[in-house]
Structure 1
Amino acid sequence: MEEKEKPVSKREIFCLSGPLHLTAVDWNNFHDRRSVAASLVQGVYILERDRQQNRQKIQANAPPWWNFFNFQLIRLLVDDVDNSIFGAIYEFQSFTCKYNHSGQNAPNYVIAFRGTVNKSNTRSRDLKLDLLCLRNRLHESSRFQLAIQAVQSIVTVAGTSSIWLAGHSLGSAISLLAGKNVTKMGYRVETYLFNPPFFSVPVEIIKNEKLKHGIRFTSSIVKAGLAVAVKSCHHRPQQDDPFVLLSAWIPYLFVNPADPICCGYIGYFEHRKKMEEIGAGKIERIATQNSIVSLLSGSLKSDSEPLHLLPSANLTINLSQSPDFKRAHGIHQWWDPSFDGQSELHVYR
């Protein structure tokens, strides 16, 4: 008996759910750049859905997600364990611009990574990688190794001034880790991180602001004290400190307060600002680059530090109401023409 083809969600179809309002992209406009980056990440999701449904050429739903913005798909990134498509490399085609705008300041290349796909074909592998993220061992996975090799190959060819990294959820973690790696190599890549995982104690769920601040303040004091005690035996010059080396790299973070996976970044950066305001900035500058777990375990290796420890970032918070977790964690919110958000630059000094 022939298996019936599953119905296509309208969220997969660009003409029904994509940013059709962007008929002329202003590459100097932050909102346009955010929408394009999110759409290219969505393209990776749909590439994998096309693969699972065996949709070929004319049936495929993925191409409009990059063609609309004058990009060409030049390479697929395929997981060596389950053969799923987890990333894509796009090249901008400035000579084929369809609308009344130039490609000035557009990226030459965008390397995009999808997040977890909750389908039987990919669920097992993706969840294992989610657990590796939680344990700060994502760098040990073959998927990340494939990703960083792809990033390094493009950086070698094009330099970094014309490359974007972009990812959502698990793909955001891959982009973040890749961005950290190339920054330590002396390059800085423009990076767009949608709903990046923040794996730490879920302080954000506490409604009492004074209690939250008290918990964070106590945590900072403990971490700073432990760091001074532990690292005094492993002193190194400030210019060689990985956290200081990363401080000039400013990735774009996009988070939703209703999403428990990423909302921790809001408190992470707000607390740093409050500590500066009350004159405890020096304590926080030590605390913010350490985790209690790694300090107690005696692990001082930079590759074992929690991924969410970031010196600097341009943090954008979606202020729109999200009716459920699926909407709060979804990629579609980031190109919504009615998007209501606020952005703030946080720089580690």
Structure 2
Amino acid sequence: MGGGVNRDDFSRVGPHYLTCVDWSNSNHRTAVTSSLVQGVYSMQRDRMKKRKPLSNPWWESFGFSLDKPLINEDDNSIYGAVFEYKNNQNIPHSGSGVPPSYVIAFRGTMLKFKTWRKDLEEDLRCLFTNLSNGTRFKHAIQTIETVLEKHSTKKTSVWLTGHSLGAGIALLAGKTMTKRGFPLETYVFSPPISSIPLDSLSGLDVVKDIFRFAECIFKVTLSVLFDLKTKADDPRIAKWIPYVYVNPSDIVCAEYIGLLKHKNVMADFGLSEFEILGAGVSIRSLVFGDEIGEPIQLLSSADMTVNKNKPNVETNNMLKKWWYKFKKAHALAQWWDPNPDLRVNWETHSIRPSTPCLDMEPTSSS
């Protein structure tokens, strides 16, 4: 999303409290990876506003340096970046965890500046399961391959992270590289999903479950009648476990919660294979009946964190209230908030090939 100087000032709004990173602490890893994505947003705003750079603290505060920005050749915008962990500033760290050698981060949609047109074009690719054919995704894969080839003789860990549209790129890139034998640790915030956001709507859960079941039957039936191509779970990515972060009030990603609930319901009735088949039928294939790409939400495994804190907005204008609530629920800042009381309302879900969805558990606030 867009934003001004306040959003880019690390000393005011960033996780500046994190002066010693424990790489074995999941909350610390969450704060750092989300900050690196914020750094990409800030770089693009620095560039477009031609201002004194505000972006550097978003990665330097955690021991990273900018290896190179990723430029979209279609509009010359910065859509991502490669960060290398050099720790030239000797940022202290603790615990038994090991920092990544590189983190490749991707930003989401920015509704200001000249980049908005290309951003929305990529958003439509997400909706119609065609993101893998976009120039950004192809360039992202080339970048990942270059980093891996450059350090093929050394033990080098590469992480992927992204927000919104960038989360979609990171998820697809993670799946692609895993199929090639390179499973990369992946952190995605508010990833898009090409499905009706039922979970963000009010109403009984049983009604939503019935609708999802009917939708699954509808898609599978049409795919059989019209011989549509579908994408199924790939056994090669079963052991790759991305970290997915969502908010129920965020219509972009809320249905990931419903996706896991639906997997549970279908598994209870012994219909897991049927559910997987339905998940592999895209909107694009139903509308156009042509070759389909990789569905972003088709995951064999995942660890999902749900922030159940409801965004508070003080305004009587209903349209503004909805928009401000959405922006807060979609924002990166919620994932580095230092308040442990807020993390009490974070829940974790897990999905594995043989056990579609495990029970929810509160996330540790340590």
| DSSP-derived class of the 1:150 partner | helix
1:177 maps to which residue?
172
Deviation at 1:13, TM superposition (A): 0.4
CA contact (8 A) 1:255 1:318 kept: yes
Paired residue type of 2:131 = L
Q: Percent of counterpart pairs with the same letter?
A: 39
Give the 3 Å change call, closer, same or farther, for CA 224–100 of structure 1 in structure 2. Answer: closer
Q: Which amino acid aligns with 2:77?
A: S
**In 2, are the aligned partners of 1:291 and 1:305 still within 8 Å (CA)?**
no
Give the alignment partner of residue 189 of structure 1, picking from 175, 184, 187: 184
CA change 1:241–1:127 in 2 (3 A) is closer
**Contact 1:289/1:311 (<8 A) preserved:** no
Change in CA separation of 1:326 and 1:309 when aligned onto 2, cut-off 3 Å: same
Answering whether residue 153 of structure 2 is matched by residue 148 of structure 1, we say: no
Count of aligned pairs between the two proteins: 333
Residue 201 (structure 1) shift? 2.4
CA distance in 2, matches of 1:227, 1:12: 46
Report the Cα distance in structure 2 between the residues aligned to 1:124 and 1:70, rounded to whole angstroms: 34
Q: Give the 3 Å change call, closer, same or farther, for CA 198–11 of structure 1 in structure 2.
A: same
Aligned pairs for 1:185-224 within 5 A: 185-204=180-199, 205-224=201-220
> Which 10-residue stretch deviates more, 149-158 or 311-320?
149-158
Quick one: distance in 2 between partners of 1:207 and 1:333?
A: 26
TM-score, structure 1 length as denominator?
A: 0.87
CA distance in 1, matches of 2:88, 2:257: 41
Distance in 2 between the 1:292 and 1:50 partners?
37
CA distance in 2: counterparts of 1:51 and 1:248, whole angstroms? 39
CA distance in 2, matches of 1:146, 1:165: 14
CA 16–95 in structure 1, closer or farther in 2 if over 3 Å, else same: closer
Q: 291, 311, 319: which is aligned to 2:300?
A: 311
Aligned to 1:30: 26
Deviation at 1:99, TM superposition (A): 2.2
Distance 1:20 1:35 in 2: 10
Aligned mates of 1:129, 1:15 — CA distance in 2: 32
**Who is 1:273 aligned against?**
264
Matches within 5 A, 1:39-118: 39-55=35-51, 59-94=52-87, 96-99=89-92, 101=94, 104-118=97-111
Say whether 1:263 aligns with 2:254: yes
| 2:66 counterpart SS class | strand
Aligned to 1:329: 330
Q: Which moves more between the two structures, 288-297 or 110-119? A: 288-297
SS in 2 for 1:304: coil
Partners of 1:74 and 1:194 in 2: CA distance: 22
CA distance in 2, matches of 1:311, 1:48: 34
Q: Give the unaligned 5+ runs of structure 1.
A: 1-6
CA distance in 2, matches of 1:44, 1:132: 21
8 Å CA contact retained: 1:44, 1:87 = yes
Change (3 A) 1:325 1:252: same
Where has structure 1 moved over 6 Å in runs of 4 or more? 228-231
Deviation by residue 1:56-94 (Cα, 9 ceiling, x = unmatched)? xxx210000001000010111011011111111001114
| Distance apart, 1:214 and its partner CA | 0.7
C-alpha distance in structure 2 between counterparts of 1:75 and 1:292, whole Å: 36
Counterpart of 2:21 in 1: which secondary structure?
Answer: coil
SS of corresponding position for 1:106: coil
Query: What is the RMSD of the two structures over their aligned residues, measured on CA atoms?
Result: 2.6
The answer to whether the Cα contact below 8 Å between 2:223 and 2:229 also exists between their aligned partners in 1 is no
1:11 equivalent in structure 2:
7
Shift of 1:8: 4.9
Counterpart contact for 1:243–1:289, Cα < 8 Å = no
Q: After superposition, what is the alpha-carbon deviation per residue over 1:16-57, rounded to whole angstroms, capped at 9, x for unaligned?
A: 0111221111101111101100000000000001101112xx
User: Retained in 1: the 8 A contact 2:232–2:276?
Assistant: no
Q: CA deviation at 1:259?
A: 0.5
Deviates more, 1:13-22 or 1:199-208: 199-208
Tell me if structure 2 keeps the 8 A contact 1:223–1:292. Answer: no
* Equivalent residues of 1:289, 1:310 under 8 A apart: no
CA shift for structure 1 position 224: 4.7
* CA-to-aligned-CA distance 1:290-341 (integer Å, 9 cap, x gap): 3475368655x5x524322222211110111113111011111111112421
Q: Which runs of 5+ in 2 are unaligned?
A: 313-324, 355-366
